[in-house]
Structure 1
Amino acid sequence: MPAGLSRDFLEQVCQLFFERFNVAGFAVLERPMAQIYATGLLSGVVVDIGYEQSDISPIYEGFILQNTRTSTSIGIRDCENYLANIFRSNQSVMAAASPSDSPCDPQTAQQFLVDFVQHIWKEGLVRVPSDGQTADVPEDEGVTDIAAVLVAGKEKAVIETGMKKKATAKASAAEQARAREIEALDLVTVEFRGHSITVGKERHRFCEPLFDPTLLKPIQQVPVDDTQDQPLPLQDAVGLAVRQAEVDQRQAIWQGLFVTGDLGNHVKGIGVALQSRLSPYILSNPEQQTELQPRSIRVVNVPEYFAEFREKGDRLATFLGTSIVAKIVFNDSQLKSFVSKPDYDERGPHAIIGMSPALF
């Protein structure tokens, strides 16, 4: 469940499950806790990027620090509108959105652009460079760690890369020159609604509004003079949330930066990009460091030994963490971390409050 729900609401949910669905047992687990459990940690900060807003939840030793939780009203929808606006300067995109021989009305063209942007990022064609850097793909030096490839489930990608290199080696000089040009420009051709659309590096600007919401001002959906309720950049919201934690808790929290949500498995490098922008919140002068001063920020992910989640990534962390907790809690009646049917018959809906550690 979302974090921060009232006890009265949780009692109503407990009553619903027992009296409407006749369940044998019921437990409450807040979503940020499920997400951090999926990484194998008990402390960290969960950044859940949603469609309309992004939630930040610092966690220490298995408990959400409720007084530090915050959110910023910027999410995937803003990124989609921003990139759709950028694509208006791409002739290939606009020729498909509103052909010159049969132009569409502005609303239809805008919807086409937004749908195309959704297709782009969900196909994994977007990556996020670190602050002040561009994302480079390391070259394969010809040495492959077969064991590591198999554990990571990437054998198909390695085979495809090898076949591509062999084909390139046999290509003519003109074809190789064209391939180098495409690689330099980072061009991709996407099939979308019967159109072949070519886009370049501009697609990697998709997540820029998360880190700089002022970029949304020129877009029609955001009033230009609206500065009163300007949402916080994601890095500032995370930094301020962690700063509200106790000083002796911050070092452990910074060692578990976990970025999740729908973007988690589709947009490459978003965790590292956020990490690089959080550096101002870490003391960089070694002479001023103390035992309690955070020295680094560590990005965490769902471990690769969860084979079923290799291709699904971090966006299903909530489901994975909940599954782990359910297996432990419901298989050990001595823990008293869930409400059984006899417990509900004896104490009613209020039983959920006394049998959920996070609600004590």
Structure 2
Amino acid sequence: MPSFREDNFLIVQPGSQNTLVRFGIEDVLSPPAYSIPTKVYKNAQDTAYYTIKPQDESLAVYPIVKGEIVDVHGLNFLLKCIVRSILKDHPVLLLNSIAFTLVQTSNRWSNDAIEMITKYVFETLQFGAFSIVPASLCSMFSYGSLANACVVDIGYEKTEITPILDYQVYIPGIKVIDKGGNSINDRLGKILPDLTSDQVEMLKRSAIFEVLSEEDAKNSFFGAEQLVEKKEEDDGVLDVAAIVTSDKPTREILAEKEKEKRKSGKAAAESKPNSELETNTFVDNEGNVVSVGKERFQGCTDLIESIGAAIHCTLSKITDLKRAQECYDNLILVGQTSKISGFKEALVVHLYRNFVVGQGATSAQGGAFRDTNNMIQDLNLIQVPKHVKLLSRPDYFAEWKKTGFEDCSFLGAQILAKQVFNSHAVGGSFLREDYMEKGPLGIWHNRL
């Protein structure tokens, strides 16, 4: 296999909303260099062609919808635009020296679409090597060497649950539900009708939007009967002597007093946790300060319940109970929605409450029922899950601590690219020589 320089590795991860890009892999694996909209336009003069320049929105094309490639020609054109931008920065770069890794961000990509992309990569873009890897495998490799895991990818319009068994995607267990981050937006739009769609999105992304634990909910402003803030003893008491002796008008002194009261009230509010405030604020794209009440703790329940049921359905298809339990113990949540404070923890709590076996089954019932309890314990040994765990993110990728681990599939793609294009033993790379011999169908014999 010919050798490819790591600074000529191209990683592209196209999602329905944004496409992540990095050209060149460094010793320290870094987050994507660019995030661009997954959006092109039909040419106004000839709709058979595409352009990247903004046109009338009626000409806009979104190549990926709900994970499915609906316009492969539009996606190929987006790849071409990425290559053009790379060549502007590297004018002497030879296209056949580029090793291209494409992250397959959904199991809904059709075989025909993948083969058309493969043909475009070699015949139009003229790359030297190509590898297409599932995002779920990339996510797993970003966490280390795990044989069995379950990857939950929460996208904008859909969520995919993918079990990994023995380092391979377990295809019969894949489940896709048509609910994602936009489900939260829809719910918030109904309970906050005065907010625009952009403001709803900004609220969801803000620090004040969170999923409260049961304990935090009980201790919150809305869970308590009444919260009475203690006031200072002299609050509201005017210093008459100060008014008489001051040179300032009485109206000005009263205004200053009111301003001080507002400042002290604001300081007290800022010292409280978000959950203990009746309202909190965020700033929208136009710089407006928007105040939100209890609605900032709502909107995620339906999505959490749907994902929990889908995880259980998926892992119930694994006949090897030991490996199924390992998948429950190695849950990986990815996607920007998983960044919402308290979301991951709420999902684990939901799984425990609804699907973990043996919860309370062996409670003390007296000596007469001891044999029954032992039988229940024996039955639990052949049932899963007994427990559920979220994988802890590795702490040795320093560059990713700043950006978060929600796009860890991109990190895993870099790790796999190093292995695929630098090792003869791993496999997974489709070279130009292989393509000339086998054509687009050869991609199925040379992929992970």
Q: Which residue of 2 aligns with 1:169?
A: none
2:159 matched to 1:67? no
CA RMSD, Structure 1 to Structure 2 (Å): 2.8
Q: Residue 60 of structure 1 aligns to which amino acid in structure 2?
A: L
* 1:287-339 alpha-carbon deviations (Å, 9 max, x no partner): 24327743211112532321111132232122111111001111113433211
Structure with greater strand percent: 2
Structure 1, 44-53 or 334-343: larger mean CA deviation: 334-343
2:161 partner SS:
strand
Q: Which residue of 2 aligns with 1:82?
A: 187
* 1:90-129 alpha-carbon deviations (Å, 9 max, x no partner): xxxx4xxxxxxxxxxxxxxxxx432112112223332223
Q: How many angstroms does 1:190 deviate by?
A: 2.1
Q: Which residue of 2 aligns with 1:197?
A: 290
Q: Give the alignment partner of residue 304 of structure 2, picking from 211, 218, 222.
A: 211
1:320 partner SS:
helix
Task: Say if 1:60 and 1:252, in contact at 8 Å, map to a contact too.
Answer: no
Q: Give the alignment partner of residue 135 of structure 2, picking from 10, 25, 31.
A: 31
Give the gaps of 5 or more residues in structure 2: 1-103, 220-262, 363-376
- 1:1-360 map, 5 Å: 1=104, 2-3=106-107, 5-40=109-144, 41-88=146-193, 94=194, 112-130=195-213, 132-134=214-216, 178-179=269-270, 184-185=276-277, 187-192=279-284, 193-211=286-304, 233-248=306-321, 249-265=323-339, 267-279=340-352, 280-284=354-358, 285=361, 287=377, 288-290=379-381, 293-357=384-448
TM-score by length of 1: 0.69
Name the % identity: 24
Change over 3 Å in CA distance of 1:126–1:300 after alignment to 2: farther
**1 CA distance for matches of 2:351 and 2:217?**
18
Q: Which residue of 1 aligns with 2:6?
A: none
Task: Say if 2:140 and 2:412, in contact at 8 Å, map to a contact too.
Answer: yes
* Greater RCO structure (CA 8 Å; 6+ sep): 1
Q: Residue 264 of structure 1 aligns to which amino acid in structure 2?
A: S
1:27 partner SS:
strand
Task: Say if 2:419 and 2:426, in contact at 8 Å, map to a contact too.
Answer: no
**2 CA distance for matches of 1:197 and 1:175?**
16
2:338 partner SS:
coil
1:29 partner SS:
strand
What is the aligned residue count? 280
TM-score by length of 2: 0.57
2:413 partner SS:
helix
Change over 3 Å in CA distance of 1:63–1:334 after alignment to 2: closer
Task: Say if 1:17 and 1:26, in contact at 8 Å, map to a contact too.
Answer: yes
Q: How many angstroms does 1:195 deviate by?
A: 2.8
Change over 3 Å in CA distance of 1:11–1:179 after alignment to 2: closer
Give the gaps of 5 or more residues in structure 1: 89-93, 95-111, 138-171, 213-232
Q: Which residue of 1 aligns with 2:365?
A: none
Q: How many angstroms does 1:47 deviate by?
A: 1.4
Structure with greater helix percent: 1
